[in-house]
Every structure is written in C-alpha cells, then in structure tokens.
Amino acid sequence: MKCFYHPDSEATCGCTRCQQLICEECKAVIRDKVLCLTCAEAVRTIDKSQPPSQADRIIMTDRAIDILREGKINLRFQGIDSPVTPQKNEEIKFVLPNITFLESRSVRTGTAVYGGPTFRVAKGVSFRLGGASGSSTSHEELRPIDSGVLTFTNQRIVFSGRLRTASIQLGKIIIVEPYSSLSYEGVSIQRENNSKMQYFVYSKSHLDKIHLEFISEGETFSPIFNSRLLESVVEGLIVQNKQLVVKGQAKKDDSGKEILEQIKKLGELKDKGIITPQDFELKKTELLKRL
C-alpha cells in the first residue's frame, strides 16, 4: 500500500481523520491521534480559534509547571509597569501587582483564673473574694505587612510596597514552597541568613484577573495561575540564574587564560630585546588589572 501524498513511499499507517493511508514523513500525532499533515494543520487551526476547556487547561498547567521548573522558558511580561529600576545586566522577566507580603509574628494570649468564694447580694449582683492568677502563651501567626508589586528578574525577586521593600537575590534562596490558604495563593521563600519564611501571596478572589501566556518549542500555553505555577516560575529563574553564573565564570576563566598567555608572549619579546623591560612591566600591569 502506498502513501496517498507520496505514491513512491510505502504507507505505514492511516490518518484517523480523513482515513487516507500515509507514510512516516506525512505522519503527525496530536492528542495521541495519528493524523496526516493536512488534517493536523486543520486541527491546530480549530484549536487556536476556540478557548481551551478547563480540563485542557489543567493538563496544560501541569505541563507548564514541569517546563517552567526546568528553566526552559524565557519569560516575558507585557502591560504591567514595574517600579524596579534594573541593575547592570538585569532583565525584568515577570511582574505581579496586588501582592500581599506576609510574615510570621509572635502573638501572646493570656488567661486569668479567680480564686475564693462568690457571694450573691442581689439578683444579678455578686461579689468574688480572693485574688486572681493568670498565664500567657505565645504562638506564631501570619500577619499582613504590606501590599504592592512583586517583580521577578533574572537576578532577584523584589517586593515594592507602600511601607516595605524586600529584595531577594536568586542565588541566596534556599527554600521556595507553594503557599495556599482559604484566602490566598502564592509562594513562601527563605533566603540565606534569615530563619523566617517570607510569604508573597495573591487574593484568590482576583485569580481570574491573572492571564499568563507563553510559548515553548512552538506550543502556546495558557496555564491556570496557582501557587504551584508561581513556585515553578521562581525555581526556573533560579535554574537560569545558576546557568548564567556558570557561563560567566567560564568566560572569566577563559579571559584569565588569554591574559596570562599575552603576558607570556610579552616576556618572550622582552627576552629577545624587541621590547624594553620598562615596556614589559607597564603592559603586564595593564593586563593584570583586567583579571
């Protein structure tokens, strides 16, 4: 049996949509169904014209989380201004408004116990004799500190509030976890030299106002915004930041080797009398400053 589109090629399967026999070159798989290239393009066109169902978005969100966590997506933001002024080689990746900054605070509660007899002197009126003793206990509660804008860059995460500003270097983050409660979705972050977790959360009543969209390997994702997705954004940025640090160190090492090689060649020129010792020392000092 020959391929419908390539009569010189043997057919290996059939299109589940148009029922034509096709070869491997004409084969496409969409949602676990084998299609010819013509039908595959038609299905993609239909999919683009219709919004994804909730079930499709849940599947899409799980896939997006995996890809984001590995740092394979170069995030871009549109339509939201960040109050952060980028530093040298810093690029703003993602901005979230209406973020609440939570921190754990110690809350003390007390109870009192009265001793001695009680005497009734009239209806509804009584006196208690004796003293009172009390005790207090302390526990941790998450309390709102401020509200503002959360900016994600390739170097740090910055919270810009009316009363409080917090800047966390990606390389200093040791723990990042999703946080979800009855009222909020967000992430909790702990950095080096800080025993307390910091919580950056978004009101669940406003989740439908966050619309994310990004493209990976030609596929468009419109995931559901939740705490797990935000956690994967942070983890992905940390991965990308580590990769940049490694590349920067490798580039610096290569530059150092090149400078030492130049000094070696200058030394050979000095030994041959082509340059003076004074010129050699001057040039060597200039090169060493570049290390």
Calculate ∠ Cα 25-66-191, nearest 5°. Answer: 150
Tell me the β-bridge partners of 156: 169
Is 203 part of any domain? no
Is 252 part of any domain? yes
Q: Which of 31, 50, 69 is the last residue of a domain?
A: 50
User: What is the reported pLDDT for 168?
Assistant: 94
Q: Which of 255, 252, 276 is nearest to 266 (CA)?
A: 276
CB atoms closer than 10 angstroms to residue 248: 11
User: What is the reported pLDDT for 58?
Assistant: 79
CA 238, CA 7: separation in Å to the nearest integer? Answer: 52
**Residues 203-227: pLDDT tens digits?**
988 777 777 777 666 667 778 888 9
User: What is the reported pLDDT for 248?
Assistant: 56
User: What is the reported pLDDT for 179?
Assistant: 94
Is 233 part of any domain? no
Q: Cβ(153)–Cβ(144) under 8 Å?
A: no
Is 204 part of any domain? no
Ranges of residues in the chain whose predicted pLDDT is under 50? none
Amino acid identity of 109?
T
Is 167 part of any domain? no
Is 201 part of any domain? no
Strands 184-191, 173-180: pairing kind: antiparallel
User: Helices (H) and strands (E) in the chain — how many of each?
Assistant: 4, 15
Residues of the domain holding 21? 1-50
**Residues 160-182: pLDDT tens digits?**
999 999 999 999 999 999 999 98
Residue corresponding to tokens 């290390």:
291
Say whether 58 sits in a helix, a strand or coil.
Answer: helix
Q: Which of 50, 75, 91 is the last residue of a domain?
A: 50
Residues in the chain: 291
- Largest CA-CA distance found in the chain, in angstroms, rounded: 118
User: What is the reported pLDDT for 94?
Assistant: 84
Is 271 part of any domain? yes
Q: Which of 12, 43, 42, 17 is nearest to 27 (CA)?
A: 12
Counted domains in the chain:
2
Is 25 part of any domain? yes
